[in-house]
Amino acid sequence: MNRDTWFQQLLSTWVGTLEKKALDHIFEKICGVQLLQIGGPSGHDWISAARFSRLFWIDPFFHAQQSKLFIQAHYTELPVRSESMDAVLFLHQLSHTQDVPEILAEVARVLKPNGHCVIVDFNAWSLWRLWQLKTKKCCSPIKVKRYLQKLDFEISGFQTYSFYSPLSLAKKNSRATFCETLGQLFFPKFGAAFIMIATKKVPGMTPLVARPWQQKSVKAGLQPSIRGLSSSNSSRSEG
């Protein structure tokens, strides 16, 4: 199945509806000049609420299409200038790669200080495992969080969602809404999918302060001496 078709079908499901709603809420708070999307669909349906001047899309397999600024490259070697992006978005991408630490290290490089990394993926610790949904590749949010913290990111937001049966992926209905409410109350970390927001910390600057033994004490009332200066001036005038 074509990747764009898969994402289009996902968007029409209960899970996709919740993901799109969460992304819209995030992009109400996050804005800037440049957004980099790594993998995912080539269209704008998922990021229609994003308020960025330029949208870049990187993928190692697709070719340029639609109106995004397309870059064909591998995720571990992003041809992007360091500290140039305001935000980076992953849409169900980390669960399909074994190079998560390397990819996140590249994200840390290209993000500006205080830039945001937004990750949307299926949750490896979800209740969907009760239905033995082995065909779905999942991502461990615990590992992703650990990798990001090693790269000096601060986890500024995390939520799981979709507690309804994966065997019934239709759009919103009363039963799905009821299961979602119960899940958020009693199993908030075990939803089928998760969304994580990480903020790149600003490098701190430590002021240089003289050590106590490097500071010279000056006694109160002590005036600078000019005796040597006076004698040298008088000797010059006599000469």
In a domain, 19, yes or no: yes
Spatial separation of the C-alpha atoms in residues 47 and 52, rounded to whole Å: 10
In a domain, 132, yes or no: yes
State residue 218's pLDDT score. 47
In a domain, 207, yes or no: no
Per-residue burial over 57-75, b = 16 or more CB atoms within 10 Å of its CB, e = otherwise:
bbbeeeeeeeebeeeeebb
In a domain, 219, yes or no: no
Q: Domain range for residue 121?
A: 3-200
Instruction: Say which residues have a Cβ less than 8 Å from residue 180's Cβ, sequence separation at least 6.
Output: 18, 161, 162, 163, 164
Maximal CA-CA distance, the chain: 109
CATH number of the structural domain spanning residue 115: 3.40.50.150
Domain count, the chain: 1
In a domain, 135, yes or no: yes
DSSP conformation letters of 105-138: HHHHHHEEEEEEEEEEEEBTTSGGGGGT-TTS--
State residue 60's pLDDT score. 80
In a domain, 7, yes or no: yes
Per-residue burial over 119-128, b = 16 or more CB atoms within 10 Å of its CB, e = otherwise:
bbbbbbbbbb
In a domain, 215, yes or no: no
Written as tens digits, the pLDDT of the chain (239 aa) is: 677 787 888 877 878 888 899 999 999 999 999 999 998 888 888 888 899 999 998 888 766 555 567 888 889 999 999 999 999 999 988 888 889 999 999 999 999 999 999 999 988 877 666 554 554 567 789 999 999 999 999 999 999 888 776 555 555 566 777 777 777 788 778 888 899 999 999 875 555 555 555 555 545 554 555 555 555 555 555 55
Cβ atoms within 10 A of the Cβ of 136, count?
16
pTM of the model: 0.76
Are 121 and 70 in contact by the 8 Å Cβ rule? The answer is no
In a domain, 226, yes or no: no
